[in-house]
Amino acid sequence: MVAHAGPTGISNLEGHTDFDITWPWARTEGLRAGSTAVLRIKDEAASLPWVLPPLLRSMDHVLVVDNGSTDGSPEVTRETAARLGMADKLSQADYPFAVARAGAEHRAVHELSVHSLSYFYNWCFAQVGTRYSFKWDGDMVLTTEGEASLADLAWQVGTVQSIIRVPRHGLYFSGADPSVGWLDLGLRNAEEWGFPVGPDFVFTKAFEWEVRTTPTPVRSIAVPQGLCVELKYLDGDEFAHWTDPSSFATSFRNKRKRREWTVFNALNEGVVPEGVHEIRAPEGAHVVDHVTRTWLPQAPRPLEVGTVVTSDDRVRATP
């Protein structure tokens, strides 16, 4: 359990009572059936038109928490949901405090501060009203196959004490030529993204960033490889949420980030690393659409992944 967490919630050190945390299971109305995807975003306007549609179609609800975007991300979020006719599935919230970046900056901040990653995550997930939740990033895009798979899982896990592990594959591309991209299948990575909403599954401070607590034992469900990509902009700052690159070298947990750093810099130098596939979309198509709708769904199975490095979290025991 989080340090100093009470049965009904947490108060922050700074005394911002409007942003104290009330656990959703402690509210009078309780939790309803269903699954909610929770996105914590900052300046993800370019990615959201790809990220949101499959999530809105596959989830019962989507909550988007903006943390100081300056690129119109909240407006893009609303417009995307409205265009799909799914505004009723969307909730939006604003978290106005600067949140510590992963690494040394995170370690220097008290867990109960509004600037703490763990406090921020607990506040975000305290806004959820369903029995199950998915932690989702503003650059993670489901393939057509992934959308169908997650939709099937989302209604099944609402009353089951299970966590869901979702592999994702870095898709690197540049605005200079959106028809070509590089998909990293050399990295095998399946992190825990789906969790029940309850007192056994809250966020606490870990060495490099936050971690979600889980009971032991817990049932773990892993979805297949090839269902989700993570957008990586070669002409952007892909590591802005880390204090500095030296933070990648602190533990086993950072193997994924070290791999991303290697691939990002190699591609910007014109070198395609082992395990990375160069993909060209048909004329007039964007590489993100081509990879998520055609290339990955049609790739031979089982997908050959993890030929270079494996950074999966420890596989939990399944009762």
Question: What whole-number percentage of the chain has pLDDT above 70?
Answer: 88
Q: Is the pLDDT of residue 297 over 70?
A: yes
Domain 28-310: assigned CATH number: 3.90.550
Radius of gyration in angstroms for the set of CA atoms belonging to the chain, rounded to a whole number: 19
Separation in Å, CA 151 to CA 14, 60, 70, 199: 40, 9, 32, 25
* Stronger pLDDT, 212 or 242, i.e. the higher one: 212
Cα–Cα distance for residue pair 281/216, rounded to 1 Å? 45
- Tokens 């899982």 label which residue? 153
Element of type H or E holding 123: helix 117-125
pLDDT in tens, 11-53: 999 999 999 999 999 999 999 999 999 999 999 999 999 999 9
Q: Is the pLDDT of residue 244 over 80?
A: no
Q: Is the pLDDT of residue 165 over 60?
A: yes
Q: Is the pLDDT of residue 229 over 60?
A: yes
- Can you give the pTM of this predicted structure? 0.91
pLDDT at position 312 is 55
Q: Of 91-105, 109-123, 194-208, 284-298, which gets the smallest average pLDDT?
A: 194-208
pLDDT at position 121 is 95
- Mean pLDDT computed over 272-282: 97
Q: Of 60-69, 125-134, 147-156, which gets the smallest average pLDDT?
A: 147-156
Torsion of CA 25, 30, 33, 38, to 10 degrees: -50
How many other C-beta atoms lie within 10 A of the C-beta of residue 102?
23
For 194, residues 6+ apart whose C-beta sits below 8 A from its C-beta are 35, 132, 133, 134, 135, 153, 157, 162, 163, 164, 166, 221
Q: Is the pLDDT of residue 246 over 70?
A: no
pLDDT at position 317 is 39
* Stronger pLDDT, 3 or 306, i.e. the higher one: 306
Cα–Cα distance for residue pair 164/111, rounded to 1 Å? 26
